[in-house]
Amino acid sequence: MAGIGAANITISVFVPPPVILDLNNLNATIGLNITLNCTASGFGLTYEWDLIPCGPGCMTSGFDTPILSVGPIVFGSAGEHVCNVTDFIGQKVSKIITITPLGPTLLSSNVSNCAATPILVINGTNEFLECSFQNRPDAPYNLTVDWFISGQRFGTPRANNASTFVTTTPEDESRIVTTTISFNPVDYLNFISPDITSFEHAYTCAAYIGNFFNEHVTNNGTCLEGL
Protein backbone atom coordinates (compact mmCIF):
# COMPACT_ATOMS: atom_id res chain seq x y z
CA MET A 1 0.00 0.00 0.00
CA ALA A 2 1.44 3.25 -1.06
CA GLY A 3 2.13 5.89 1.58
CA ILE A 4 0.06 9.05 1.84
CA GLY A 5 2.07 12.14 0.94
CA ALA A 6 1.53 15.82 1.83
CA ALA A 7 1.71 18.84 -0.49
CA ASN A 8 1.64 22.60 0.01
CA ILE A 9 -1.22 24.38 -1.70
CA THR A 10 -1.15 28.13 -2.32
CA ILE A 11 -4.50 29.87 -2.46
CA SER A 12 -4.66 33.38 -3.93
CA VAL A 13 -7.49 35.55 -2.68
CA PHE A 14 -8.51 38.56 -4.73
CA VAL A 15 -10.00 41.42 -2.77
CA PRO A 16 -11.71 43.92 -5.06
CA PRO A 17 -10.79 47.54 -4.35
CA PRO A 18 -13.39 49.87 -2.88
CA VAL A 19 -15.83 51.55 -5.25
CA ILE A 20 -17.19 55.04 -4.52
CA LEU A 21 -20.83 55.36 -5.54
CA ASP A 22 -22.86 58.39 -6.63
CA LEU A 23 -20.61 61.26 -5.57
CA ASN A 24 -21.67 64.01 -7.97
CA ASN A 25 -20.83 67.68 -8.36
CA LEU A 26 -23.13 69.96 -6.40
CA ASN A 27 -24.66 73.42 -6.86
CA ALA A 28 -25.35 75.03 -3.48
CA THR A 29 -27.17 78.24 -2.56
CA ILE A 30 -25.26 80.82 -0.52
CA GLY A 31 -26.18 80.57 3.17
CA LEU A 32 -27.24 76.92 3.18
CA ASN A 33 -25.56 74.08 5.07
CA ILE A 34 -24.92 71.01 2.91
CA THR A 35 -23.62 67.47 3.27
CA LEU A 36 -21.42 65.49 0.88
CA ASN A 37 -22.15 61.76 1.13
CA CYS A 38 -19.27 59.53 0.04
CA THR A 39 -21.01 56.15 -0.18
CA ALA A 40 -18.67 53.28 -1.06
CA SER A 41 -18.70 49.49 -1.36
CA GLY A 42 -15.87 47.27 -0.10
CA PHE A 43 -14.50 45.55 2.99
CA GLY A 44 -13.24 47.15 6.19
CA LEU A 45 -13.49 50.68 4.83
CA THR A 46 -12.11 53.85 6.39
CA TYR A 47 -12.82 57.36 5.12
CA GLU A 48 -10.78 60.53 4.95
CA TRP A 49 -11.63 63.84 3.27
CA ASP A 50 -8.86 66.20 2.19
CA LEU A 51 -8.72 69.23 4.47
CA ILE A 52 -9.83 72.12 2.24
CA PRO A 53 -10.96 75.55 3.57
CA CYS A 54 -14.52 76.43 2.55
CA GLY A 55 -14.41 80.23 2.84
CA PRO A 56 -14.90 82.95 5.50
CA GLY A 57 -17.41 81.91 8.16
CA CYS A 58 -17.87 78.46 6.62
CA MET A 59 -17.14 75.38 8.76
CA THR A 60 -16.36 71.81 7.69
CA SER A 61 -16.71 68.69 9.85
CA GLY A 62 -16.71 64.90 9.48
CA PHE A 63 -13.30 64.50 7.82
CA ASP A 64 -13.01 60.86 8.94
CA THR A 65 -16.58 59.81 8.13
CA PRO A 66 -18.49 59.10 4.90
CA ILE A 67 -20.46 62.35 5.34
CA LEU A 68 -18.76 65.74 5.16
CA SER A 69 -20.77 68.69 6.51
CA VAL A 70 -20.08 72.08 4.92
CA GLY A 71 -21.70 75.42 5.68
CA PRO A 72 -22.94 77.96 5.58
CA ILE A 73 -21.97 78.12 1.92
CA VAL A 74 -20.26 81.32 0.73
CA PHE A 75 -18.70 82.23 -2.61
CA GLY A 76 -15.37 81.12 -1.16
CA SER A 77 -16.75 77.59 -0.82
CA ALA A 78 -16.27 77.03 -4.54
CA GLY A 79 -13.78 74.30 -5.31
CA GLU A 80 -12.99 70.62 -5.20
CA HIS A 81 -13.42 68.33 -2.20
CA VAL A 82 -11.73 64.92 -2.29
CA CYS A 83 -13.07 61.78 -0.60
CA ASN A 84 -10.48 59.04 0.04
CA VAL A 85 -11.62 55.49 0.86
CA THR A 86 -9.21 52.76 2.04
CA ASP A 87 -10.03 49.10 2.68
CA PHE A 88 -8.55 46.70 5.26
CA ILE A 89 -5.57 45.73 3.07
CA GLY A 90 -4.66 49.32 2.19
CA GLN A 91 -6.25 49.64 -1.24
CA LYS A 92 -7.19 53.29 -1.69
CA VAL A 93 -9.51 55.05 -4.11
CA SER A 94 -10.37 58.74 -4.32
CA LYS A 95 -13.08 60.81 -5.95
CA ILE A 96 -13.50 64.56 -6.41
CA ILE A 97 -16.72 66.52 -5.93
CA THR A 98 -16.92 70.15 -7.03
CA ILE A 99 -19.10 72.67 -5.15
CA THR A 100 -20.47 75.64 -7.11
CA PRO A 101 -22.02 78.35 -4.88
CA LEU A 102 -25.10 80.09 -6.29
CA GLY A 103 -26.13 83.63 -5.37
CA PRO A 104 -28.74 86.09 -6.64
CA THR A 105 -29.07 86.79 -10.35
CA LEU A 106 -28.66 90.31 -11.68
CA LEU A 107 -31.56 91.57 -13.79
CA SER A 108 -31.32 95.09 -15.18
CA SER A 109 -33.36 97.55 -17.21
CA ASN A 110 -31.17 100.51 -18.13
CA VAL A 111 -27.74 99.41 -16.98
CA SER A 112 -25.01 99.74 -19.59
CA ASN A 113 -21.39 98.73 -19.55
CA CYS A 114 -19.06 101.67 -18.88
CA ALA A 115 -16.51 100.66 -21.46
CA ALA A 116 -19.08 99.91 -24.13
CA THR A 117 -22.10 102.24 -24.13
CA PRO A 118 -22.28 105.18 -21.69
CA ILE A 119 -25.71 106.73 -21.11
CA LEU A 120 -25.90 110.22 -22.64
CA VAL A 121 -27.44 112.87 -20.38
CA ILE A 122 -28.04 116.62 -20.56
CA ASN A 123 -26.28 118.72 -17.95
CA GLY A 124 -28.60 119.85 -15.18
CA THR A 125 -31.29 117.23 -15.71
CA ASN A 126 -32.30 114.53 -13.26
CA GLU A 127 -31.38 110.98 -14.16
CA PHE A 128 -32.89 107.63 -13.21
CA LEU A 129 -30.92 104.42 -12.94
CA GLU A 130 -32.50 101.10 -12.08
CA CYS A 131 -31.35 97.55 -11.47
CA SER A 132 -33.05 94.40 -10.25
CA PHE A 133 -31.85 91.23 -8.57
CA GLN A 134 -33.64 87.91 -8.29
CA ASN A 135 -32.94 85.97 -5.12
CA ARG A 136 -32.55 82.20 -5.10
CA PRO A 137 -35.88 80.44 -4.38
CA ASP A 138 -34.30 78.43 -1.54
CA ALA A 139 -32.15 81.25 -0.15
CA PRO A 140 -32.40 81.51 3.67
CA TYR A 141 -31.83 85.28 3.56
CA ASN A 142 -33.16 88.51 2.11
CA LEU A 143 -31.19 90.81 -0.15
CA THR A 144 -29.97 94.29 0.75
CA VAL A 145 -29.46 96.40 -2.37
CA ASP A 146 -27.47 99.63 -2.52
CA TRP A 147 -25.92 102.03 -5.03
CA PHE A 148 -22.35 103.27 -5.25
CA ILE A 149 -20.51 105.89 -7.27
CA SER A 150 -16.84 105.14 -7.79
CA GLY A 151 -16.86 103.11 -4.58
CA GLN A 152 -18.79 105.65 -2.45
CA ARG A 153 -22.23 104.74 -1.22
CA PHE A 154 -25.16 106.91 -2.27
CA GLY A 155 -27.02 108.43 0.65
CA THR A 156 -23.98 109.10 2.81
CA PRO A 157 -24.53 112.05 5.19
CA ARG A 158 -22.61 114.54 3.07
CA ALA A 159 -24.76 113.69 0.05
CA ASN A 160 -28.14 113.99 1.74
CA ASN A 161 -28.71 117.49 0.35
CA ALA A 162 -27.78 116.61 -3.21
CA SER A 163 -31.33 115.81 -4.37
CA THR A 164 -30.58 112.10 -4.39
CA PHE A 165 -33.37 109.58 -3.88
CA VAL A 166 -32.84 105.85 -3.52
CA THR A 167 -35.88 103.58 -3.63
CA THR A 168 -35.73 99.84 -3.04
CA THR A 169 -38.73 97.52 -3.25
CA PRO A 170 -39.11 94.49 -0.96
CA GLU A 171 -38.82 91.03 -2.46
CA ASP A 172 -41.93 90.09 -4.41
CA GLU A 173 -43.39 86.61 -4.89
CA SER A 174 -40.66 85.83 -7.41
CA ARG A 175 -38.05 87.07 -4.90
CA ILE A 176 -37.14 90.01 -7.15
CA VAL A 177 -35.78 93.22 -5.62
CA THR A 178 -35.63 96.42 -7.67
CA THR A 179 -33.72 99.56 -6.74
CA THR A 180 -33.88 102.97 -8.42
CA ILE A 181 -31.90 106.15 -7.95
CA SER A 182 -33.04 109.60 -9.04
CA PHE A 183 -30.43 112.34 -8.94
CA ASN A 184 -28.85 115.30 -10.68
CA PRO A 185 -25.34 114.09 -11.60
CA VAL A 186 -23.82 117.58 -11.67
CA ASP A 187 -25.33 118.73 -8.36
CA TYR A 188 -24.49 115.44 -6.70
CA LEU A 189 -20.83 115.40 -7.65
CA ASN A 190 -20.38 119.12 -6.99
CA PHE A 191 -21.81 118.58 -3.53
CA ILE A 192 -19.30 115.82 -2.84
CA SER A 193 -16.37 117.73 -4.30
CA PRO A 194 -16.58 121.15 -5.99
CA ASP A 195 -13.39 120.30 -7.88
CA ILE A 196 -15.10 117.57 -9.91
CA THR A 197 -15.71 118.81 -13.44
CA SER A 198 -17.01 115.59 -14.99
CA PHE A 199 -19.68 113.13 -13.94
CA GLU A 200 -18.39 110.31 -16.12
CA HIS A 201 -18.10 107.90 -13.23
CA ALA A 202 -19.08 104.29 -12.63
CA TYR A 203 -22.47 104.00 -10.95
CA THR A 204 -22.92 100.47 -9.62
CA CYS A 205 -25.63 98.65 -7.72
CA ALA A 206 -24.83 95.80 -5.34
CA ALA A 207 -26.98 93.11 -3.73
CA TYR A 208 -25.67 92.04 -0.33
CA ILE A 209 -26.61 88.56 0.75
CA GLY A 210 -28.30 88.49 4.16
CA ASN A 211 -25.79 88.69 6.99
CA PHE A 212 -22.95 87.63 4.68
CA PHE A 213 -21.81 91.19 4.02
CA ASN A 214 -18.63 90.04 2.30
CA GLU A 215 -20.83 88.19 -0.18
CA HIS A 216 -22.43 90.36 -2.83
CA VAL A 217 -23.25 90.59 -6.52
CA THR A 218 -22.80 93.81 -8.50
CA ASN A 219 -23.59 95.06 -11.97
CA ASN A 220 -20.78 96.02 -14.35
CA GLY A 221 -21.25 99.73 -13.73
CA THR A 222 -23.27 102.39 -15.52
CA CYS A 223 -21.51 105.41 -16.96
CA LEU A 224 -23.14 108.76 -17.67
CA GLU A 225 -21.69 110.95 -20.38
CA GLY A 226 -22.66 114.62 -20.67
CA LEU A 227 -23.91 116.20 -23.87
| Boundaries of every domain in the chain | 19-102, 105-226
The pTM (predicted TM-score) of the whole model is 0.75
Greater model confidence, 197 or 208: 208
Beta bridge pairs of residue 70: 34, 60
* CB-based contacts of 24, cutoff 8 Å, min separation 6: 97
Superfamily per CATH, domain 19-102? Immunoglobulins (2.60.40.10)
Two domains, one topology: 19-102 and 105-226: yes
The 10s digit of each residue's pLDDT in 34-51 is 999 999 999 999 999 998
The 10s digit of each residue's pLDDT in 175-192 is 999 888 777 666 655 555
Asked, as a colleague might, if the bond just before 72 is cis with ω within 30 of 0, I would say: yes
- Least confident among 1-15, 27-41, 136-150: 1-15
> Which architecture, in CATH terms, is 105-226?
Sandwich (2.60)
Residue 171 has pLDDT above 70, yes or no: yes
Hey, which bits of the chain come out as E strands? Answer: 19-21, 26-29, 34-37, 39-41, 46-49, 59-61, 67-71, 79-86, 92-102, 105-108, 119-121, 127-134, 143-149, 152-153, 165-168, 176-183, 202-209, 212-218, 222-226
